[in-house]
Amino acid sequence: MNTAQALRIQIEHSLEHRFPAALSHLPRTIHEVAATGIDEVDALLGGGLPVGAISELTGPESSGRTSLALAFLSGRSREGLVCAWVDAGDSLDPESAAASGVSLKQLLWVRCRAAGANAKPWVRLDQALRSTDLLLQAGGFAALVLDLGSTAPEHGCRIPLATWFRFRHAADRTRCSLLVLGQAPFAQSSAAVMLECSAQREASESPTVLSGFSYQVSRGRQRQPALVTGPRKPPVSTWTATPAWEREKRA
**Segment 59-84, tens digit of pLDDT:** 999 899 999 999 999 999 999 999 99
Structural domain includes residue 171: yes
Q: pLDDT-derived band of residue 93, with 50, 70 and 90 as boundaries?
A: very high
**Phi, psi of 45, deg, nearest 5:** -90, -5
Structural domain includes residue 114: yes
86 contacts 147 by C-beta, under 8 angstroms: yes
Q: In terms of C-beta distances under 8 Å and separation of at least 24 residues, what long-range contacts does 35-40 make, across chains too? A: 35/75, 36/68, 36/71, 36/72, 36/75, 37/71, 37/72, 37/74, 37/75, 37/101, 38/68, 38/71, 38/239, 39/239, 40/217, 40/237, 40/238, 40/239
Q: pLDDT tens, 209-249?
A: 555 678 889 888 676 554 444 444 557 778 677 654 344 44
Question: What is the gyration radius of the CA atoms in the chain, in angstroms?
Answer: 21
What is the per-residue pLDDT for 192? 95
109 contacts 91 by C-beta, under 8 angstroms: no
Q: pLDDT-derived band of residue 206, with 50, 70 and 90 as boundaries?
A: low
Structural domain includes residue 10: no
What is the per-residue pLDDT for 228? 45
Q: SS3 helix, strand, coil % of the chain, rounded to 5?
A: 35, 25, 40
What is the per-residue pLDDT for 4? 72
Structural domain includes residue 15: no
The helix or strand, by DSSP H or E, that contains position 241, with its residue range, turns out to be strand 236-241
Q: pLDDT-derived band of residue 113, with 50, 70 and 90 as boundaries?
A: confident
Question: The pTM is what?
Answer: 0.79
Q: Could you tell me the CA-to-CA distances from 67 to 3, 20, 49, 70, 124 in Å, in that order?
A: 59, 47, 15, 5, 22
Residue 30 has pLDDT above 70, yes or no: no
Structural domain includes residue 13: no
What is the per-residue pLDDT for 39? 92
Q: pLDDT-derived band of residue 208, with 50, 70 and 90 as boundaries?
A: low
Full residue range of the structural domain in which residue 132 is found: 28-250
Please provide the average confidence, as pLDDT, over all residues in the chain: 83
48 contacts 38 by C-beta, under 8 angstroms: no
CATH number of the domain that residue 106 is part of: 3.40.50.300
Residue 101 has pLDDT above 70, yes or no: yes
Structural domain includes residue 180: yes
Q: pLDDT-derived band of residue 20, with 50, 70 and 90 as boundaries?
A: low
Exposure string over 219-238, b if 16+ CB within 10 A, otherwise e: beebebebeeeeeeeeeebe
Structural domain includes residue 19: no
Number of domains composing the chain: 1
Structural domain includes residue 5: no
Q: pLDDT tens, 135-183?
A: 999 999 999 999 999 999 999 999 999 999 999 999 999 999 999 999 9
Which residues pair with residue 201 across a beta bridge? Answer: 214
